[in-house]
Amino acid sequence: MLPSSCAAVILAAGRGTRLNALNTPKVMMPIGGKPIVAHTVENLQQAGFAPSKICFVIGFQGEQLRTYFGPNFVYAEQTELLGTAHAAFTGMRALPPDVRQVLVMGGDDSAFYRPETIRVFIEKHSVQGTHLSLLTACVEDPSQLGRIVRAPDGSMMIVEKEYLTAEKETIKEISTGTFCFDRAWFEGMFPSMPRMKKLDEYGLPAALSMVQAQGKRCEVLALDNASEWFGVNTIEDLQEADRRKKLKGN
């Protein structure tokens, strides 16, 4: 059963420039007859989240999400697009005070998660008293994605595609961008998080490095079925996601 102290933050502030979505938030582009993020919300609700424990971090044309989902959900506006970690922080601060564990996920790549996958991920995080948990996946073509780099001493880091060496480009394990955080730890850590040099943003990958540097507990869990993660970044991705949803009938 989902702990009552858990909530979810969906990162939904981005534009869909590469999807030719000139006046539509990226996550509101349709697959299977409804917005991408609507599938994510259905999965979260089936996993046990009430609307009052689901926060959308909105930005470009954010009113479209408010209109579609209504007033029972939580909304946090990211007025400056300063990266995924800043978006997560913005969303966390809008959650009810009794929330202690927060699931953070992208609204454009989480439409295919099974509710059971979400439940198990959160339960493992909560039961073990972990400060940070991350879902990973092993994919055939990771070329546009950050990789999980595991060191001989057991430490791990997420290396974004902009920083990959030729050797690291062969790694197949990627970060899905889906995290569980101890809320107090994340909110306390964020003000000291450094920006990523090449992007000048606060990125969630840095949280994995920081939790280990502080000696806090972290877990990196691989998806049993890598196809549950599917990022929608191009027109071709959108068409493939639509095909998959129609094939499944939802």
Q: How far apart are CA 15 and CA 28, in angstroms?
A: 10
The DSSP-derived string for 211-228 is: HHHTT--EEEEE-SSGGG
**Using CA atoms in the order 21, 24, 29, 35, what is the torsion angle rounded to 10 degrees?**
180
Domains and CATH numbers, the chain: 6-241 (3.90.550.10)
CB atoms within 10 A of CB 37: 27
Residues 178 and 134 sit within 8 Å (Cβ to Cβ): yes
Q: Which stretches of the chain score pLDDT less than 70?
A: 249-250
**Using CA atoms in the order 130, 133, 138, 142, what is the torsion angle rounded to 10 degrees?**
-150
Q: What is the pTM of this model?
A: 0.94
Q: How far apart are CA 90 and CA 182, in angstroms?
A: 15
Which phi-psi region, left, alpha or beta, contains residue 200 (left: φ > 0; alpha: ψ -120 to 50)? Answer: left
